[in-house]
Structure 1
Amino acid sequence: MKPILHGMMLAFGLILPLGVQNVFIFNQGATHKRFSNALPAIITAGICDTILILLAVAGVSIMILTFEWLRTFLFLIGFFFLAYMGWLMWKSTSEVRNDQNSNHFSTKRQIMFAASVSLLNPHAILDTIGVIGTSSLVYVGFDKWLFTVSCIGVSWIWFFTLAIIGKKIEHIDTSGILLKRMNQVSALIIWGMAVYMGLQLF
């Protein structure tokens, strides 16, 4: 029972802050006419988090990030990608959904963006290593698996919850004004992360 509670608390503490990944998943839930259309983003984010957690517990990711040039490369790619993503969020609009289609991301773009915001965020990777990877060292055998599965389970539940909340707000905001403003706030948050990453290069 202890490994399960420990894993859930750590994972929830890491994933709760309003980051680029959370903003993107919430946005997809809010802007799609059907919840199922947001599943590519949700599933991709869940898979990416699962991979990061497994690598952290296995100790593989910490060896990769010991290379300074690789960390710099991740920050550089992350900066340009987030700047572009922020621009897309800013220009996107949410319209009243009768027979009209909103300006939402296609399945291919959802997968690409969800994977990118999950894997091109050096701080998220370092947090996973520093907290989940290090904490897993106190467990062995079956307890380590319970700890790992708990962390992964929290990620998946959280992403589905975010998208559902976004969908509920979409139903409340029939005019589309609130969602448009939320897109703009999301863009500002993403640009802020891009600037922060850019500063790390210097």
Structure 2
Amino acid sequence: MTLLPTAYITGAITGASLIAAIGAQNAFVLTQGVKQHYFWQIALTCALIDTLLIFAGAAGMGALINRSELFLTLVTWGGAAFLILYGCKAGLSALKSNTLQANKSAGFSSLSTALMATAALSLLNPHVYLDTVVLLGSIAGRYDSLDTYWFAAGASSFSLLWFLTISYGARALTPLFANPLAWRVLDCLVALTMWTIAYLLLTDSLGK
């Protein structure tokens, strides 16, 4: 006898295969976790956005988004522009000899600014909609009535667990980032991640 419905467990496993992939959102959460700069608020915001999108997909919004080429195109180009700019910010930071304290002071000026950047990074990415609303939503739609939402709850639960884990887990790396070289490496990796995803978004959009 299982304590949790099978649909919930399946949702968590399926969500794990999508959410834990290397991407702009995870790189952003990890960086803020190392800085300990609004890190748990950012993690919760990412999880909340995922939850809303997953349940929207379970409710049937996935088919609507999948048919809206204009929406996906606007999100693609807007997201690519944001990722390029954020990558440039990380690249410029990599050129400086920063310590952990310097990076903390160079962080977001307020919680609202941090949350707006989090929302932009999360929502200006068509893959977020395709993964959460369309893909997870279509799988959830195969279940009957209540199990549809058990599946969505499972995927959402993993999202919350994942973002809190990498956010708080990143704090263990704090001593390492007392060394300016460690920051340069991280900033370079973040910049490359952002630019690579922007490139893939644009080439995919132009190739259609």
What's 1:83 paired with?
Answer: 84
Q: 1:145 aligns with which of 145, 149, 158?
A: 149
SS at match of 2:178: coil
Contact 2:66 2:134 in 1 (8 A): no
SS at match of 1:201: helix
CA distance in 1, matches of 2:145, 2:157: 19
What's 1:8 paired with?
Answer: 12
User: 1:74–1:96: structure 2 CA closer, same or farther, 3 Å change rule?
Assistant: closer
- Count of aligned pairs between the two proteins: 198
What's 1:105 paired with?
Answer: 108
Give the alignment of 1:10-159 within 5 angstroms: 10-32=14-36, 37-92=38-93, 94-97=98-101, 101-106=104-109, 107-159=111-163
Contact 1:49 1:155 in 2 (8 A): yes
CA distance in 2, matches of 1:81, 1:100: 21
SS at match of 1:104: coil
CA distance in 2, matches of 1:130, 1:71: 12
Partner letter of residue 22 of structure 2? L
For structure 2, the 5+ residue unaligned runs are: none
For structure 1, the 5+ residue unaligned runs are: none
User: Under a length normalisation based on structure 2, what TM-score does the superposition of the two structures give?
Assistant: 0.86
Contact 1:10 1:131 in 2 (8 A): no
Deviations 1:48-98 (A, max 9, x none): 11111011111114303412222111111111111111112222364144x
Q: Report the identity percentage.
A: 25
What's 2:191 paired with?
Answer: 187
Deviates more, 1:66-75 or 1:127-136: 127-136
User: 1:174–1:69: structure 2 CA closer, same or farther, 3 Å change rule?
Assistant: same
CA distance in 1, matches of 2:127, 2:47: 18
Contact 1:95 1:102 in 2 (8 A): no
CA distance in 2, matches of 1:64, 1:110: 27
Q: Which stretches of structure 1, 4 residues or more, deviate above 3 A after TM superposition?
A: 99-102
Question: What's the C-alpha RMSD, in Å, of the aligned pairs?
Answer: 2.0
